[in-house]
Homo-oligomer: A and B are copies of this chain.
Amino acid sequence: MTYCLAIKVNKGLVFASDSRTNAGVDYIATYSKMTRFVWPGERVCVLLTSGSLATSQAVVNAVYRDLENPDAEVNLLRPKHLHELASYIGKLSQKEQLMHAKAMEKSGSSAESSFILGGQIKGQEPEIFMIYPQGNYISASHDTPYLQIGENKYGKPILDRIIQASTTLEDAARCALVSLDSTIRSNISVGPPVELAIYQNNQIDEPFHQTLTLNSPMYKSLQKQWTQGLKRAFNRLPRFEWEKK
């Protein structure tokens, strides 16, 4: 399993991902699920992956291959609009899945992968897209300012309570970390380290990027503060009638 999310607020974009992959519960490994592609002053793309690791890796490899191939019909640099990049990722994903579909079906497994792609092309608005295993995609909106792939339920309530278009980039990043931490606590197939990228609108350069292990001071402090804050909030909840006597 996996849990990745991207948030689009007025000031920019936040991306976060866990790093655990598993084949069943008896084979667990650590892989980064965040790839950044940066052409300073031109365009910035961040790609998050979930689902079949083989498909995800093949798509990332194909993206690099197409960038090096002058005859490639499309690559991350050519299209003028971010949604065309989302469509490109969807096509690569479909192509890779179809190649192995029959063999995967036979073994009762799935080659499906989902992706989040976000960033900014010079002169255009920053955007984030979620690309379904079927290759189609949706973008975030003012009313739904975040997108999730993988194990999305445990970490959703805090996003619903905190994230709005007006949220600061730093608060959006903290909320993404809390959302990931809640998921890591409840599902062992989602695990550290946690990768975080923060992109400020119109910066069109390498986003701020951090890899947080359970021992990173920021992550440890956030975990501790959040646990204490939740307990404090919990202890202030209203009493039942008979407790007031």
Query: Which among B154, B175, B234 is the interface contact of A174 at CB below 8 angstroms?
Result: B234
Residues of chain B within 8 A of A221, CB atoms compared? 238
CA distance A184 to B228 in the complex (A): 25
Size bin of chain A's contact surface: 35 or more
Which residues from chain B contact A84 at a C-beta distance below 8 Å? none
- Which residues on the B side are within 8 Å of A231 (C-beta)? 161-162
Does A59 count as interface, using CB distance less than 8 angstroms?
A: no
Asked if residues A153 and B218 are in contact (CB atoms below 8 Å), the reply is no
Kindly provide the distance from the CB of A154 to the nearest chain B CB, expressed in whole angstroms: 5
Residue numbers in B under 8 Å from A228 (CB-CB): 233
Copies of this polypeptide in the complex: 2
Contacting residues, chain B, for A230 (C-beta < 8 A): 158, 161-162, 229-230, 233
Interface residues of A in 191-245 (CB under 8 A from B): 218, 221-222, 225-234, 236-240, 243
What residues of B have a CB within 8 angstroms of the CB of A162 in the complex? Answer: 230-231, 234
How far apart are A180's CB and chain B's nearest CB, in angstroms?
11
Which residues 145-178 of A sit at the B interface, judged by CB distance below 8 A? 153-154, 156-158, 160-162, 170-171, 173-175, 178
Question: Does A182 sit within 8 A of B, measured CB to CB?
Answer: yes
Q: Distance in Å from the Cβ of A214 to the closest Cβ of chain B?
A: 15
CA–CA, A175 and B225, complex, Å: 19
B237 touches A226 (CB 8 A): yes
Docked CA distance A238–B221 (Å): 7
Minimum CB distance partner of A177 in chain B? B237
Q: Which residues of A contact B (CB under 8 A)?
A: 153-154, 156-158, 160-162, 170-171, 173-175, 178, 182, 185-186, 218, 221-222, 225-234, 236-240, 243
A-B pairs with beta carbons under 8 Å apart, 20 shown: A153-B186, A154-B154, A157-B185, A157-B186, A160-B185, A161-B185, A161-B227, A162-B230, A170-B239, A173-B240, A174-B234, A174-B237, A178-B234, A178-B237, A218-B240, A229-B230, A229-B237, A230-B230, A230-B233, A232-B232
